[in-house]
Amino acid sequence: MASGMDKSAEPAMAQESAFQRFLRATELDTRLLGMVGALVLIWIGFHLAGIWRTGNGIFLSPRNLWILLVQTSSIAVMTTGMVMIIVMRHIDLSVGSLLGVIAVIMGYAQVYVLGPWLGVGHPAIWILTVLIGLGAGALLGAFHGYLIAYAGIPSFIVTLGGLIVWRGAAWAVIRGETVAPMDERFELLGGGPFYASIGATASWVLGLIVCVLIVLAIRSGRQSRQKFNFPLRPIWAENFLGAVGCLLTLGTVWLVNSYYFPPKLANDYAEANNIPIPEGGLMIPHGFAIPVLIAAAAGIIMTFVAVRTRFGRYIYAIGGNPEAAELAGINTRRITLLMFSIMGILAAVSACISSARLNAASNALGQFDELYVIAATVIGGTSLAGGVGTIYGAILGALVMQSLQSGMTLLNFDSAYKDMAVGSVLVFAVWLDQLYRRRAN
């Protein structure tokens, strides 16, 4: 492959530092590394601040990190769709209100329709509820997409109107009341407070499966490059990427398995399942929470759609140059309608997680979530100018956002300061994106 390299590039490559050669060989995104570094600094900073203020740092405890992952899930699911929306040079300001109205629809259906019709506790209630929510999300998102694509109304105006309309619709359905409780099986989708996880053994099995998939993905990528005569990464670089991916996966499994049930709940579980309680007490690991697995599945599916499908390539083509994409024969209107419909479905998934975690539905659910979703997406490296963005970056941005909020909550910051910090981080992220684009040009 070296023989096909541009001779003029050899002197420049010879002047590269060891770190620059490492980045070129591994093809790691410098912005991604920057976000990871920022996340590590945030975690360590809040942990040390907790030790300094209270004498007991709990931010890096397995319990807090497990809860942090659960709290991030709802926002992370919606960021996977917001990336594609912004890549297309659109925006969706209505996702928080969509979450609220869909949660209210699902709560109303459970308590006032499905429960009396099928009987409380019927196993079909949670399935029908989820289907109702997903259907409502798809219809509302498609309605937004139709107004944007076929009526020619800017997405900012359509979704700003949706933000107001759907929040009002949520209030109109239940008149400001809180609908509760949710079906017991449906409640598991929220990950709390207990039992809504898959346990230690299943978590380790899942972690090993992910490691195998990482290795297979790297191998498949190398074979594809060879097939089309693309430049290959060095073997050591691919081994390094595979090792890091597997270590992060298994480390996460170890983390979630290090958070155990409280003694009383562990004893109650043992008595209910005729498990003998040892002298030192029963230690039951939580493992992965169900909403975390839902968010991970959404990230994997949307990454596949963005990278491996014609639909995803069309979205990036539209974001890169809408006029050229249309001249190339891409049905930009149809793609826009479908993408906003998918965004509605993802908002419905987040509505399931949020209402299940609260074990109730209220018209206040999802309030300001649209701001957090957009902020997380931009922090994750998606350019507001369109054409650039990654799903994994947006999910990492959501984790950064939630880490800031969680850390300030543990340190008893006023909510006003938390909002100020989130807004400042958003502006800073956009500024960094502009600097990065100027350097790239």
Res 13: pLDDT:
56
The CA distances from residue 7 to 3, 12, 226, 315, in Å, are 9, 10, 22, 35
Distance CA 156, CA 78 (A): 17
Please count the other Cβ atoms lying within 10 Å of the Cβ belonging to residue 62.
16
Res 4: pLDDT:
44
For the chain, which ranges sit under pLDDT 50? 1-6, 8
Res 25: pLDDT:
86
CA dihedral (222, 226, 230, 235) positive or negative: positive
Residue from 346, 246, 347, 333 nearest 305 by CA = 346
Q: Is 272 exposed, middle or buried (0-12, 13-18, 19+ CB in 10 A)?
A: exposed
Res 2: pLDDT:
42
DSSP track, 281-317: ----B--SBHHHHHHHHHHHHHHHHHHHSHHHHHHHH
DSSP track, 94-150: THHHHHHHHHHHHHHIIIIIIHHHH-TT-TTHHHHHHHHHHHHHHHHHHHHHHHHHT
Res 292: pLDDT:
95
Omega into 231 within 30° of 0, i.e. cis?
A: no
Res 11: pLDDT:
53
Res 193: pLDDT:
57
Q: Is the pTM of this model over 0.85?
A: yes
Residue from 356, 435, 361 nearest 101 by CA = 361
Res 437: pLDDT:
66
DSSP track, 365-429: TTTTHHHHHHHHHHHTT--TTSS---HHHHHHHHHHHHHHHHHHHHTT--HHHHHHHHHHHHHHH
Token pair of 286, please? 């939580």
